[in-house]
Amino acid sequence: MCVVDQNALESTGNIENYIVSEANADNNYEHRTFTHATIYTNQCLLSTATVLILNNQNSWVKCNALLDSASQSNLMSQSLSEKLNLTYEKVNMPLSGVGQIETNIIGKTKTCIKSRFNDFQARLQFLIIPKVTEKLPLIGFDKSQIKYPKNLNLADEKFNIPKEIDLLIEAEIFFDLLKEGRMKLGTVGPVLQETYFGWIITGNLNFNINATVDKFQKRVCNITNVSNKQLHDSLSNFLLIEELEKERILSKNEQYCEDYFKQTTKRDELGIFTVKYPFNPEFKEQLGDSKATAIKRFKSLETRFTKNADLKEQYVNFMREYESLGHMTFQSTLDSDNSIENKSYFLPHTAVLRDQSLTTKCRVVFDASAKTSTNVSFNDIILPGPTIQDDLFSILLRLRLRKIVLSADVKMMYRCIKIDPDERSYQKIIWRENPNEKMKIYELNTVTYGTSSAPFQATRCLKEVAI
Protein backbone atom coordinates (compact mmCIF):
# COMPACT_ATOMS: atom_id res chain seq x y z
CA MET A 1 0.00 0.00 0.00
CA CYS A 2 1.07 3.65 -0.50
CA VAL A 3 0.81 5.87 2.61
CA VAL A 4 2.03 9.42 3.25
CA ASP A 5 3.00 10.71 6.68
CA GLN A 6 1.46 14.21 6.82
CA ASN A 7 3.83 15.34 9.63
CA ALA A 8 6.83 14.37 7.51
CA LEU A 9 5.42 16.37 4.63
CA GLU A 10 4.94 19.50 6.68
CA SER A 11 8.56 19.33 7.85
CA THR A 12 10.00 19.46 4.32
CA GLY A 13 9.16 23.15 3.84
CA ASN A 14 8.23 22.43 0.24
CA ILE A 15 4.46 22.28 0.43
CA GLU A 16 1.86 23.99 -1.69
CA ASN A 17 -1.94 23.62 -1.58
CA TYR A 18 -3.69 23.81 -4.94
CA ILE A 19 -6.72 22.61 -6.87
CA VAL A 20 -5.95 19.92 -9.45
CA SER A 21 -8.01 20.36 -12.62
CA GLU A 22 -9.18 17.49 -14.84
CA ALA A 23 -6.80 18.65 -17.59
CA ASN A 24 -3.71 18.69 -15.36
CA ALA A 25 -0.93 16.51 -16.83
CA ASP A 26 -1.92 12.83 -17.06
CA ASN A 27 -3.36 12.81 -13.51
CA ASN A 28 -7.02 13.11 -14.36
CA TYR A 29 -8.30 13.57 -10.80
CA GLU A 30 -11.47 14.96 -9.32
CA HIS A 31 -11.75 18.65 -8.28
CA ARG A 32 -10.49 18.52 -4.70
CA THR A 33 -7.70 20.00 -2.57
CA PHE A 34 -4.31 18.28 -2.76
CA THR A 35 -0.86 18.89 -1.29
CA HIS A 36 2.07 18.98 -3.71
CA ALA A 37 5.51 18.12 -2.34
CA THR A 38 8.86 16.60 -3.10
CA ILE A 39 9.11 13.81 -0.53
CA TYR A 40 11.11 10.72 0.24
CA THR A 41 8.99 7.62 0.37
CA ASN A 42 9.53 3.94 1.02
CA GLN A 43 5.90 3.12 0.46
CA CYS A 44 4.65 0.15 -1.55
CA LEU A 45 2.98 -0.14 -4.94
CA LEU A 46 0.27 -2.79 -4.94
CA SER A 47 -0.25 -5.20 -7.85
CA THR A 48 -2.80 -3.58 -10.18
CA ALA A 49 -3.80 -4.69 -13.66
CA THR A 50 -6.16 -3.72 -16.45
CA VAL A 51 -8.23 -6.79 -17.35
CA LEU A 52 -11.18 -7.61 -19.58
CA ILE A 53 -14.47 -8.71 -18.04
CA LEU A 54 -17.60 -10.10 -19.72
CA ASN A 55 -20.86 -8.15 -19.48
CA ASN A 56 -24.41 -9.45 -19.96
CA GLN A 57 -24.21 -8.76 -23.71
CA ASN A 58 -21.20 -11.11 -24.06
CA SER A 59 -18.94 -8.12 -24.74
CA TRP A 60 -15.58 -7.55 -23.09
CA VAL A 61 -15.15 -4.42 -20.96
CA LYS A 62 -11.90 -3.03 -19.53
CA CYS A 63 -11.67 -2.60 -15.77
CA ASN A 64 -9.05 -2.07 -13.04
CA ALA A 65 -8.17 -5.05 -10.85
CA LEU A 66 -6.10 -5.46 -7.70
CA LEU A 67 -4.30 -8.81 -7.39
CA ASP A 68 -4.40 -9.70 -3.69
CA SER A 69 -2.75 -12.84 -2.33
CA ALA A 70 -4.26 -12.17 1.14
CA SER A 71 -7.94 -12.19 0.18
CA GLN A 72 -10.29 -15.13 0.60
CA SER A 73 -12.85 -13.83 -1.91
CA ASN A 74 -13.05 -12.21 -5.32
CA LEU A 75 -14.68 -8.79 -4.96
CA MET A 76 -16.45 -6.53 -7.44
CA SER A 77 -17.55 -2.93 -6.93
CA GLN A 78 -21.24 -2.14 -7.16
CA SER A 79 -20.55 0.46 -9.86
CA LEU A 80 -18.88 -2.13 -12.12
CA SER A 81 -21.69 -4.63 -11.52
CA GLU A 82 -24.23 -2.03 -12.64
CA LYS A 83 -22.09 -1.10 -15.64
CA LEU A 84 -21.92 -4.76 -16.74
CA ASN A 85 -25.64 -5.22 -16.02
CA LEU A 86 -24.97 -8.62 -14.46
CA THR A 87 -27.58 -10.66 -12.64
CA TYR A 88 -26.73 -11.44 -9.07
CA GLU A 89 -28.03 -13.41 -6.14
CA LYS A 90 -28.57 -11.71 -2.80
CA VAL A 91 -26.28 -12.90 0.00
CA ASN A 92 -26.88 -12.46 3.70
CA MET A 93 -23.29 -12.58 4.96
CA PRO A 94 -20.97 -9.85 6.27
CA LEU A 95 -17.47 -9.30 4.95
CA SER A 96 -14.87 -8.13 7.46
CA GLY A 97 -11.24 -7.10 7.43
CA VAL A 98 -8.77 -5.57 9.86
CA GLY A 99 -10.38 -4.75 13.20
CA GLN A 100 -13.42 -6.83 12.21
CA ILE A 101 -14.89 -3.82 10.39
CA GLU A 102 -17.79 -5.23 8.43
CA THR A 103 -18.93 -4.44 4.90
CA ASN A 104 -22.37 -5.38 3.66
CA ILE A 105 -22.30 -7.76 0.69
CA ILE A 106 -24.84 -6.74 -1.93
CA GLY A 107 -24.83 -10.09 -3.69
CA LYS A 108 -22.78 -12.59 -5.61
CA THR A 109 -22.43 -13.09 -9.35
CA LYS A 110 -20.39 -15.08 -11.85
CA THR A 111 -18.67 -13.88 -14.98
CA CYS A 112 -15.47 -14.34 -16.99
CA ILE A 113 -12.27 -12.33 -16.96
CA LYS A 114 -9.46 -12.59 -19.48
CA SER A 115 -6.09 -11.15 -20.33
CA ARG A 116 -5.54 -8.39 -22.89
CA PHE A 117 -2.36 -10.07 -24.13
CA ASN A 118 -2.99 -13.83 -24.38
CA ASP A 119 -5.62 -16.58 -24.20
CA PHE A 120 -5.80 -16.74 -20.40
CA GLN A 121 -9.43 -16.74 -19.27
CA ALA A 122 -11.21 -17.71 -16.05
CA ARG A 123 -14.80 -17.85 -14.89
CA LEU A 124 -15.00 -16.58 -11.31
CA GLN A 125 -17.56 -15.89 -8.63
CA PHE A 126 -17.49 -12.34 -7.25
CA LEU A 127 -18.97 -10.85 -4.10
CA ILE A 128 -20.46 -7.45 -4.92
CA ILE A 129 -19.70 -4.72 -2.38
CA PRO A 130 -20.23 -0.93 -2.48
CA LYS A 131 -16.52 -0.17 -2.93
CA VAL A 132 -13.49 -2.45 -3.18
CA THR A 133 -10.82 -0.08 -1.80
CA GLU A 134 -9.41 3.43 -2.06
CA LYS A 135 -8.02 4.72 -5.33
CA LEU A 136 -4.68 3.10 -6.09
CA PRO A 137 -1.92 4.07 -5.97
CA LEU A 138 -2.52 6.48 -3.12
CA ILE A 139 0.24 8.77 -4.44
CA GLY A 140 0.39 10.01 -8.02
CA PHE A 141 3.91 10.35 -9.42
CA ASP A 142 5.91 10.60 -12.64
CA LYS A 143 6.44 7.08 -13.99
CA SER A 144 9.76 8.13 -15.58
CA GLN A 145 11.25 7.96 -12.07
CA ILE A 146 11.02 4.15 -12.29
CA LYS A 147 13.50 2.70 -14.78
CA TYR A 148 12.05 -0.38 -16.47
CA PRO A 149 12.26 -1.93 -19.97
CA LYS A 150 9.84 -0.03 -22.19
CA ASN A 151 9.13 -2.98 -24.49
CA LEU A 152 7.20 -4.92 -21.84
CA ASN A 153 3.43 -5.31 -21.85
CA LEU A 154 2.52 -3.73 -18.52
CA ALA A 155 -0.54 -5.12 -16.78
CA ASP A 156 -1.37 -1.53 -15.75
CA GLU A 157 0.07 1.14 -18.05
CA LYS A 158 -1.16 3.81 -15.61
CA PHE A 159 0.31 2.24 -12.48
CA ASN A 160 1.41 5.72 -11.34
CA ILE A 161 -2.03 7.37 -11.51
CA PRO A 162 -4.59 6.98 -8.69
CA LYS A 163 -7.73 5.33 -10.08
CA GLU A 164 -10.84 3.48 -8.94
CA ILE A 165 -10.37 -0.25 -8.36
CA ASP A 166 -13.23 -2.32 -9.82
CA LEU A 167 -12.13 -5.87 -8.93
CA LEU A 168 -10.10 -7.67 -6.30
CA ILE A 169 -8.70 -11.06 -7.36
CA GLU A 170 -8.35 -13.54 -4.50
CA ALA A 171 -5.50 -15.76 -3.34
CA GLU A 172 -6.89 -18.95 -4.92
CA ILE A 173 -6.28 -17.67 -8.45
CA PHE A 174 -3.51 -15.19 -7.63
CA PHE A 175 -0.69 -17.73 -7.83
CA ASP A 176 -2.13 -19.27 -11.01
CA LEU A 177 -1.61 -15.88 -12.66
CA LEU A 178 2.11 -15.73 -11.97
CA LYS A 179 4.65 -16.64 -14.67
CA GLU A 180 8.39 -17.19 -14.48
CA GLY A 181 9.57 -13.71 -15.49
CA ARG A 182 10.82 -11.49 -12.65
CA MET A 183 13.07 -8.41 -12.55
CA LYS A 184 14.37 -6.39 -9.60
CA LEU A 185 14.46 -2.66 -10.40
CA GLY A 186 17.49 -1.62 -8.38
CA THR A 187 18.74 -2.95 -5.07
CA VAL A 188 15.82 -1.64 -2.99
CA GLY A 189 13.32 -0.61 -5.64
CA PRO A 190 10.09 -2.25 -6.85
CA VAL A 191 9.89 -5.58 -8.68
CA LEU A 192 8.59 -6.42 -12.14
CA GLN A 193 6.67 -9.71 -12.06
CA GLU A 194 5.34 -11.40 -15.19
CA THR A 195 1.71 -12.54 -15.04
CA TYR A 196 -0.88 -13.67 -17.55
CA PHE A 197 -2.33 -10.15 -17.34
CA GLY A 198 1.04 -8.62 -18.29
CA TRP A 199 3.96 -7.39 -16.15
CA ILE A 200 2.95 -5.94 -12.78
CA ILE A 201 5.07 -3.42 -10.89
CA THR A 202 4.95 -3.96 -7.17
CA GLY A 203 7.08 -3.19 -4.14
CA ASN A 204 8.73 -0.26 -2.36
CA LEU A 205 9.21 3.18 -3.90
CA ASN A 206 12.53 4.06 -2.29
CA PHE A 207 13.27 7.42 -3.89
CA ASN A 208 12.33 11.08 -3.85
CA ILE A 209 9.19 11.59 -5.89
CA ASN A 210 7.30 14.63 -7.03
CA ALA A 211 4.06 13.48 -5.51
CA THR A 212 0.48 14.66 -5.76
CA VAL A 213 -0.88 13.82 -2.31
CA ASP A 214 -4.42 13.96 -1.01
CA LYS A 215 -4.28 16.24 2.06
CA PHE A 216 -6.60 13.84 3.87
CA GLN A 217 -4.70 10.69 2.95
CA LYS A 218 -5.86 7.41 4.49
CA ARG A 219 -4.18 4.15 5.31
CA VAL A 220 -5.76 1.17 3.58
CA CYS A 221 -5.45 -2.56 3.96
CA ASN A 222 -6.74 -5.08 1.44
CA ILE A 223 -7.19 -8.10 3.70
CA THR A 224 -10.67 -9.64 3.82
CA ASN A 225 -11.98 -12.51 5.89
CA VAL A 226 -15.02 -13.65 7.78
CA SER A 227 -14.68 -14.61 11.43
CA ASN A 228 -15.81 -18.04 12.58
CA LYS A 229 -18.54 -16.57 14.76
CA GLN A 230 -19.86 -14.40 11.93
CA LEU A 231 -19.81 -17.35 9.56
CA HIS A 232 -21.68 -19.49 12.09
CA ASP A 233 -24.30 -16.78 12.66
CA SER A 234 -24.70 -16.20 8.93
CA LEU A 235 -25.18 -19.90 8.17
CA SER A 236 -27.68 -20.18 11.02
CA ASN A 237 -29.73 -17.38 9.51
CA PHE A 238 -29.40 -18.93 6.07
CA LEU A 239 -31.12 -22.11 7.27
CA LEU A 240 -34.27 -20.16 8.04
CA ILE A 241 -37.00 -20.65 5.45
CA GLU A 242 -37.26 -16.88 4.88
CA GLU A 243 -33.66 -16.80 3.71
CA LEU A 244 -34.19 -19.64 1.24
CA GLU A 245 -36.85 -17.75 -0.67
CA LYS A 246 -34.41 -15.37 -2.32
CA GLU A 247 -35.63 -12.55 -4.50
CA ARG A 248 -33.99 -12.84 -7.91
CA ILE A 249 -32.96 -9.65 -9.67
CA LEU A 250 -33.32 -9.95 -13.45
CA SER A 251 -31.21 -8.27 -16.09
CA LYS A 252 -32.84 -6.19 -18.82
CA ASN A 253 -32.87 -9.11 -21.29
CA GLU A 254 -34.11 -11.56 -18.67
CA GLN A 255 -36.94 -9.23 -17.70
CA TYR A 256 -37.84 -8.90 -21.38
CA CYS A 257 -38.09 -12.71 -21.68
CA GLU A 258 -40.31 -12.88 -18.60
CA ASP A 259 -42.61 -10.12 -19.85
CA TYR A 260 -42.69 -11.57 -23.37
CA PHE A 261 -43.66 -14.99 -21.98
CA LYS A 262 -46.59 -13.47 -20.09
CA GLN A 263 -47.76 -11.48 -23.12
CA THR A 264 -47.52 -14.19 -25.81
CA THR A 265 -48.00 -17.58 -24.14
CA LYS A 266 -51.34 -19.28 -24.74
CA ARG A 267 -52.97 -22.30 -23.13
CA ASP A 268 -55.75 -24.34 -24.73
CA GLU A 269 -58.70 -26.13 -23.15
CA LEU A 270 -56.57 -29.23 -22.55
CA GLY A 271 -54.01 -27.19 -20.67
CA ILE A 272 -51.33 -27.39 -23.37
CA PHE A 273 -49.04 -24.36 -23.62
CA THR A 274 -48.07 -22.64 -26.87
CA VAL A 275 -45.06 -20.33 -26.61
CA LYS A 276 -43.13 -17.95 -28.86
CA TYR A 277 -39.40 -17.50 -29.17
CA PRO A 278 -37.93 -14.46 -27.37
CA PHE A 279 -36.03 -13.09 -30.38
CA ASN A 280 -33.24 -10.60 -29.99
CA PRO A 281 -34.39 -7.85 -32.39
CA GLU A 282 -30.79 -6.76 -33.07
CA PHE A 283 -29.88 -10.10 -34.67
CA LYS A 284 -33.13 -11.59 -35.98
CA GLU A 285 -32.58 -10.42 -39.57
CA GLN A 286 -28.96 -11.64 -39.67
CA LEU A 287 -29.72 -15.33 -40.26
CA GLY A 288 -28.21 -16.66 -43.46
CA ASP A 289 -28.53 -19.95 -45.32
CA SER A 290 -28.62 -22.96 -42.99
CA LYS A 291 -29.80 -25.56 -45.48
CA ALA A 292 -26.37 -26.42 -46.88
CA THR A 293 -24.96 -27.23 -43.44
CA ALA A 294 -28.01 -29.30 -42.52
CA ILE A 295 -27.70 -31.35 -45.75
CA LYS A 296 -23.99 -31.95 -45.20
CA ARG A 297 -24.53 -33.05 -41.60
CA PHE A 298 -27.42 -35.34 -42.60
CA LYS A 299 -25.34 -37.06 -45.30
CA SER A 300 -22.66 -37.64 -42.69
CA LEU A 301 -25.30 -39.20 -40.43
CA GLU A 302 -26.41 -41.52 -43.25
CA THR A 303 -22.82 -42.63 -43.74
CA ARG A 304 -22.76 -43.49 -40.06
CA PHE A 305 -25.93 -45.54 -40.54
CA THR A 306 -24.25 -47.70 -43.19
CA LYS A 307 -21.68 -48.76 -40.60
CA ASN A 308 -24.13 -49.35 -37.76
CA ALA A 309 -27.44 -50.98 -38.66
CA ASP A 310 -28.59 -51.09 -35.03
CA LEU A 311 -28.10 -47.33 -34.68
CA LYS A 312 -30.11 -46.71 -37.83
CA GLU A 313 -32.97 -48.89 -36.60
CA GLN A 314 -33.17 -47.05 -33.28
CA TYR A 315 -32.91 -43.66 -35.02
CA VAL A 316 -35.70 -44.51 -37.47
CA ASN A 317 -37.95 -45.73 -34.65
CA PHE A 318 -37.27 -42.52 -32.72
CA MET A 319 -38.21 -40.33 -35.68
CA ARG A 320 -41.32 -42.38 -36.44
CA GLU A 321 -42.49 -41.90 -32.87
CA TYR A 322 -41.66 -38.19 -33.11
CA GLU A 323 -43.95 -37.87 -36.14
CA SER A 324 -46.71 -40.15 -34.83
CA LEU A 325 -47.03 -38.07 -31.66
CA GLY A 326 -47.49 -34.93 -33.74
CA HIS A 327 -44.22 -33.46 -32.58
CA MET A 328 -43.04 -32.99 -36.17
CA THR A 329 -44.91 -32.56 -39.44
CA PHE A 330 -43.91 -33.26 -43.05
CA GLN A 331 -43.76 -30.09 -45.17
CA SER A 332 -42.21 -30.85 -48.57
CA THR A 333 -39.35 -32.51 -50.33
CA LEU A 334 -36.02 -30.74 -50.45
CA ASP A 335 -36.15 -30.07 -54.20
CA SER A 336 -39.42 -28.12 -53.82
CA ASP A 337 -38.36 -26.05 -50.81
CA ASN A 338 -38.67 -22.27 -51.17
CA SER A 339 -37.73 -21.15 -47.68
CA ILE A 340 -36.67 -17.53 -47.13
CA GLU A 341 -33.21 -17.58 -45.56
CA ASN A 342 -33.64 -15.23 -42.61
CA LYS A 343 -37.20 -16.41 -41.97
CA SER A 344 -36.32 -20.07 -41.50
CA TYR A 345 -33.64 -22.27 -40.01
CA PHE A 346 -32.64 -25.89 -40.63
CA LEU A 347 -31.56 -27.76 -37.49
CA PRO A 348 -28.80 -30.34 -38.00
CA HIS A 349 -29.42 -33.44 -35.89
CA THR A 350 -27.48 -36.45 -34.69
CA ALA A 351 -27.69 -39.38 -32.28
CA VAL A 352 -26.58 -39.63 -28.68
CA LEU A 353 -26.35 -43.20 -27.40
CA ARG A 354 -27.02 -43.95 -23.75
CA ASP A 355 -26.46 -47.67 -23.17
CA GLN A 356 -27.31 -47.39 -19.47
CA SER A 357 -30.74 -45.85 -20.12
CA LEU A 358 -33.69 -48.00 -19.11
CA THR A 359 -36.00 -46.36 -21.66
CA THR A 360 -34.62 -44.68 -24.79
CA LYS A 361 -31.05 -45.75 -25.56
CA CYS A 362 -30.83 -43.66 -28.74
CA ARG A 363 -31.74 -40.02 -28.41
CA VAL A 364 -31.88 -37.55 -31.31
CA VAL A 365 -30.44 -34.13 -30.45
CA PHE A 366 -30.77 -30.96 -32.51
CA ASP A 367 -28.03 -28.37 -33.01
CA ALA A 368 -29.42 -24.83 -32.94
CA SER A 369 -25.90 -23.45 -32.54
CA ALA A 370 -24.86 -24.45 -36.06
CA LYS A 371 -23.72 -21.33 -37.94
CA THR A 372 -25.45 -20.13 -41.09
CA SER A 373 -23.75 -18.55 -44.12
CA THR A 374 -23.62 -15.23 -42.20
CA ASN A 375 -21.85 -16.91 -39.25
CA VAL A 376 -24.99 -16.41 -37.13
CA SER A 377 -26.86 -19.36 -35.61
CA PHE A 378 -30.44 -19.65 -34.43
CA ASN A 379 -29.26 -19.57 -30.81
CA ASP A 380 -27.51 -16.28 -31.57
CA ILE A 381 -30.80 -14.55 -32.41
CA ILE A 382 -32.86 -15.75 -29.43
CA LEU A 383 -32.50 -14.82 -25.78
CA PRO A 384 -31.97 -17.69 -23.30
CA GLY A 385 -34.11 -16.17 -20.54
CA PRO A 386 -33.47 -16.30 -16.79
CA THR A 387 -32.90 -19.38 -14.65
CA ILE A 388 -36.23 -20.11 -12.94
CA GLN A 389 -35.32 -22.79 -10.43
CA ASP A 390 -33.23 -22.22 -7.30
CA ASP A 391 -29.66 -23.43 -7.12
CA LEU A 392 -29.17 -27.04 -6.02
CA PHE A 393 -27.83 -26.10 -2.58
CA SER A 394 -30.98 -24.09 -1.75
CA ILE A 395 -33.23 -26.89 -3.00
CA LEU A 396 -31.49 -29.48 -0.82
CA LEU A 397 -31.75 -27.24 2.23
CA ARG A 398 -35.43 -26.61 1.61
CA LEU A 399 -36.08 -30.36 1.33
CA ARG A 400 -34.98 -30.71 4.95
CA LEU A 401 -37.70 -28.35 6.15
CA ARG A 402 -40.61 -30.62 5.17
CA LYS A 403 -41.66 -34.05 6.42
CA ILE A 404 -42.91 -35.28 3.02
CA VAL A 405 -41.27 -34.73 -0.35
CA LEU A 406 -42.81 -35.60 -3.73
CA SER A 407 -40.57 -36.38 -6.69
CA ALA A 408 -41.68 -36.91 -10.28
CA ASP A 409 -40.19 -37.25 -13.74
CA VAL A 410 -42.02 -35.31 -16.45
CA LYS A 411 -41.93 -37.47 -19.57
CA MET A 412 -40.90 -35.57 -22.71
CA MET A 413 -41.10 -32.31 -20.76
CA TYR A 414 -39.99 -30.03 -23.59
CA ARG A 415 -42.22 -31.76 -26.14
CA CYS A 416 -45.26 -31.17 -23.95
CA ILE A 417 -45.09 -27.51 -25.00
CA LYS A 418 -45.95 -26.33 -28.50
CA ILE A 419 -44.17 -23.64 -30.51
CA ASP A 420 -46.40 -21.03 -32.15
CA PRO A 421 -47.16 -22.20 -35.75
CA ASP A 422 -45.84 -18.90 -37.18
CA GLU A 423 -42.38 -19.67 -35.76
CA ARG A 424 -42.04 -23.36 -36.61
CA SER A 425 -40.20 -22.44 -39.81
CA TYR A 426 -37.21 -21.85 -37.54
CA GLN A 427 -37.33 -25.53 -36.58
CA LYS A 428 -36.97 -27.33 -39.90
CA ILE A 429 -35.07 -30.58 -40.24
CA ILE A 430 -34.06 -32.83 -43.13
CA TRP A 431 -34.94 -36.51 -42.85
CA ARG A 432 -35.57 -39.67 -44.83
CA GLU A 433 -35.48 -43.30 -43.82
CA ASN A 434 -33.67 -44.60 -46.89
CA PRO A 435 -31.01 -43.02 -49.13
CA ASN A 436 -32.96 -43.95 -52.27
CA GLU A 437 -35.79 -41.61 -51.20
CA LYS A 438 -35.88 -37.86 -51.76
CA MET A 439 -34.77 -35.80 -48.81
CA LYS A 440 -37.81 -34.54 -46.91
CA ILE A 441 -38.34 -31.37 -44.90
CA TYR A 442 -40.16 -31.56 -41.58
CA GLU A 443 -41.05 -28.86 -39.08
CA LEU A 444 -40.74 -29.53 -35.35
CA ASN A 445 -43.91 -28.43 -33.57
CA THR A 446 -42.73 -28.36 -29.95
CA VAL A 447 -40.05 -26.80 -27.77
CA THR A 448 -36.82 -28.41 -28.96
CA TYR A 449 -33.86 -29.57 -26.92
CA GLY A 450 -30.80 -27.73 -28.22
CA THR A 451 -32.35 -24.27 -28.50
CA SER A 452 -30.98 -21.90 -25.86
CA SER A 453 -34.43 -20.73 -24.72
CA ALA A 454 -35.83 -24.25 -24.21
CA PRO A 455 -34.88 -24.62 -20.49
CA PHE A 456 -36.49 -21.27 -19.65
CA GLN A 457 -39.64 -21.95 -21.67
CA ALA A 458 -40.17 -25.43 -20.22
CA THR A 459 -39.42 -24.51 -16.61
CA ARG A 460 -41.49 -21.31 -16.87
CA CYS A 461 -44.50 -23.33 -18.06
CA LEU A 462 -43.98 -25.73 -15.17
CA LYS A 463 -43.96 -22.79 -12.78
CA GLU A 464 -47.15 -21.48 -14.39
CA VAL A 465 -48.84 -24.82 -13.73
CA ALA A 466 -47.70 -24.69 -10.09
CA ILE A 467 -49.12 -21.18 -9.67
Task: Render pLDDT for 36-53 as a digit per residue (tens, 0 to 9).
Answer: 445 445 568 899 999 999
Write 327-330 long-range contacts (CB < 8 A, 24+): 327/415, 327/444, 327/445, 327/446, 328/429, 328/442, 328/443, 328/444, 328/445, 329/442, 329/443, 329/445, 330/440, 330/441, 330/442
Q: Output the CA–CA distances (angstroms, integers) from residue 145 to 8, 185, 212, 257, 417, in the order listed.
A: 21, 11, 14, 54, 68
Q: What's the pLDDT band for 407 if we cut at 50, 70, 90? A: confident
Q: What's the pLDDT band for 95 if we cut at 50, 70, 90? A: confident
Give pLDDT, residue 234: 55
Asked which of 249, 278, 301 is the last residue of a domain, the reply is: 249
Least confident among 220-234, 304-318, 350-364? 220-234
Least confident among 281-285, 364-368, 410-414, 463-467? 281-285
CA atoms within 13 A on the CB side of 457: 32
Task: Let me know whether 322 and 406 are in one domain.
Answer: yes
Q: What is the pTM of this model?
A: 0.50
Give the residue with greater pLDDT, 388 vs 93: 388
109-129 mean pLDDT: 93
Q: Which helix (H) or strand (E) holds 359?
A: none
Task: Let me know whether 310 and 239 are in one domain.
Answer: no
158-181 mean pLDDT: 91
Task: Let me know whether 75 and 9 are in one domain.
Answer: yes
Give pLDDT, residue 101: 61
Total structural domains within the chain: 2
Question: Mapping DSSP to helix (H, G, I), strand (E, B) and coil, where does residue 165 land?
Answer: coil
| Proportion of the chain above pLDDT 90, given as a percent | 50
Task: Let me know whether 242 and 260 are in one domain.
Answer: no
Task: Let me know whether 200 and 316 are in one domain.
Answer: no
Task: Let me know whether 371 and 282 are in one domain.
Answer: yes
Asked which of 214, 249, 284 is the last residue of a domain, the reply is: 249
Give pLDDT, residue 157: 93
Give pLDDT, residue 30: 40
> Is the pLDDT score of 274 beyond 50?
yes
Give the residue with greater pLDDT, 143 vs 436: 436
Task: Let me know whether 357 and 404 are in one domain.
Answer: yes
Task: Let me know whether 256 and 245 are in one domain.
Answer: no
Task: Let me know whether 339 and 202 are in one domain.
Answer: no
Task: Let me know whether 97 and 234 are in one domain.
Answer: yes
Asked which of 249, 271, 292 is the last residue of a domain, the reply is: 249
Q: Model confidence over 235-264: pLDDT tens digits?
A: 555 555 445 555 667 888 899 999 999 999
Give pLDDT, residue 397: 80
Give pLDDT, residue 372: 94
The per-residue b/e assignment along 110-126, b for 16 or more CB within 10 angstroms, e otherwise, is ebebbbeeeebeeebeb
Quick count: other Cβ atoms within 10 Å of Cβ 24? 13
Q: What's the pLDDT band for 98 if we cut at 50, 70, 90? A: low
Task: Let me know whether 125 and 274 are in one domain.
Answer: no
Task: Let me know whether 306 and 217 are in one domain.
Answer: no
76 lies in which domain range? 1-249
CATH number at residue 137: 2.40.70.10
Give the residue with greater pLDDT, 439 vs 226: 439
Q: Are 108 and 128 in contact (CB under 8 A)?
A: yes
> Is the pLDDT score of 192 beyond 80?
yes
> Is the pLDDT score of 232 beyond 60?
no
DSSP per-residue codes, 63-75: EEEEE-TT-SS-E
